[in-house]
Amino acid sequence: MKDLNRQKILMTGGCGFIGTHLVNYLAARDNTITILDDLSTGSIEGLPIGPNVRLVNGSTLDKELVRQVCMDQDLIIHMASLVGMELVVEEPIQSYNVSKYGTRNILELSDMSTPVVLFSSSAVYGLTKDQRSQEAQAISQQAALDYDAGKLGYASGKWALEQEGLAAMAVGKQVQIVRPFNVIGYGQSSTYGMVVPKFIKLALEGKDLTVYGDGNQTRSFTYIQTFCEVLDQLITNPSAWQRGNNVINVGSDQMTAINTVANLILDKVDTQSKIEYKRYDTVFPGKQDVMHRRPDTTKMKALIGEREWPTIQDMIQEIITKSIQEENTKDWNLQRA
Ligand SMILES: NC(=O)c1ccc[n+]([C@@H]2O[C@H](COP(=O)([O-])OP(=O)(O)OC[C@H]3O[C@@H](n4cnc5c(N)ncnc54)[C@H](O)[C@@H]3O)[C@@H](O)[C@H]2O)c1
């Protein structure tokens, strides 16, 4: 695919956080987009639904529907998934099934010549400690199960998604597997356990921020707009579809401790909120937290060149500013009603 202009694109999970940003990004380039989303956690708010962006409300587990929406597409971006620690702990099997069987449906029921981008996750690296997660590192079902506390769940589902992708590649399908690392930005739901939107919402409401564990665990927070641009560069780079190159970590490699995130938010919001700590295993019994999650970005950089990623300070400031603007608009509309 030479460029992402005037293409017909199917996006599963397009009503989610990343999906909404990506749909807007691609719609602005004159692409014709079909979204397949069951609206289980997503919403149509912020989506440019219209002549060039159509929403089909349904599940990737519905084979007949998948067959219909896959027809006559130039590209499929497959993001549909259950996301967020609290949600996937509540619904581990559904999380696994949507990843494994939803992906199988997309790969089997789309035309052999339609390229498919699969959204995996850094969770496939399991509970790896301290080092940068590198694509060449062997990933295993056992590592995913360790992450999922011994039961099928989110990480096992993403592992299974990758296996489906590798099997499809083996018979000649064009597949690119991306492994995003903690993508954040305005519009991310605070409901399902994503740390940044949750802390910002609590701070704006004057409630305490609960940090699980000692807060020294680190993550590599990745800005959504840059993520969309990088994905565009990867999709339009033929080398990124070649076997050996086509499983790619996508993210910033700046590490930030959860304590730093909490303190930055408390500094930037005028609030009485404080930080409180809870033991991780009292919140998620049987599960272990990943202490450090940082991508090795050598492969991504070889494919797209050096990228500057926004700092955590700038990302948090932007999300807070937009969240306050949204609250003010709601208040203003209520006063006028
Ligand atoms: N946000 C991140 O930091 C991050 C990190 C790693 C991987 N990912 C992956 O990126 C993708 C998008 O993540 P997100 O943050 O936008 O999540 P999200 O929860 O905001 O979006 C997921 C979307 O999938 C939809 N969905 C769920 N089950 C479905 C089904 N069976 N059929 C159709 N639609 C269904 C939901 O309604 C929602 O709109 C996911 O595959 C996720 O695993 C995200």
Q: Under DSSP, is residue 243 helix (H, G, I), strand (E, B) or coil?
A: coil
Ligand 1 atom at minimum distance from 40 CA: 37
Residue to mutate (ligand 1; options 64, 83, 156; most atoms within 8 A of CB): 83
What the block records as the tokens of 277 is: 């700590």
Residue to mutate (ligand 1; options 18, 91, 103, 293; most atoms within 8 A of CB): 18
Say which amino acid occupies 276.
E
pLDDT band at 77 (very low <50, low <70, confident <90, very high): very high
132 pLDDT more than 80: yes
Q: How far apart are CA 60 and CA 98, in angstroms?
A: 7
Contact 30, 6 (CB under 8 A): yes
| pLDDT value of residue 101 | 98
| pLDDT value of residue 337 | 65
Q: Under DSSP, is residue 33 helix (H, G, I), strand (E, B) or coil?
A: strand
Pocket of ligand 1 (CB under 6 A): 12-13, 15-19, 36-42, 59-61, 79-83, 98, 102, 119, 121-122, 180, 182-183
315 pLDDT more than 90: yes
Give 151-201 pLDDT, tens digit per residue.
999 999 999 999 999 999 999 999 999 999 999 999 999 888 789 999 999
Q: How far apart are CA 225 and CA 222, in angstroms?
A: 9
Contact 15, 56 (CB under 8 A): no
| pLDDT value of residue 130 | 62
DSSP track, 141-171: HHHHHHHTTTSS-HHHHHHHHHHHHHHHHHT
Angle at 22 between CA 20 and CA 26, to 5 degrees: 120
243 pLDDT more than 90: yes
Q: Which domains does the chain have, with CATH numbers?
A: 8-185+221-251 (3.40.50.720)
DSSP track, 55-119: EEE--TT-HHHHHHHHTT-SEEEE-----SHHHHHHSHHHHHHHHHHHHHHHHHHS-TTS-EEEE
138 pLDDT more than 90: no
Contact 215, 277 (CB under 8 A): yes
Q: How far apart are CA 10 and CA 77, in angstroms?
A: 6
What the block records as the tokens of 244 is: 């050996």
| pLDDT value of residue 334 | 67
Per DSSP bridges, beta strands 218-219 and 256-257 are antiparallel
Q: What percent of the chain has pLDDT over 70?
A: 98
As a whole number, the mean pLDDT across the chain is 94
> How many Å lie between the centroid of ligand 1 and the Cα of residue 149?
21
Give 247-306 pLDDT, tens digit per residue.
999 999 999 999 999 999 999 999 999 999 999 999 888 889 999 999 999 999 999 999
Say which amino acid occupies 186.
Y
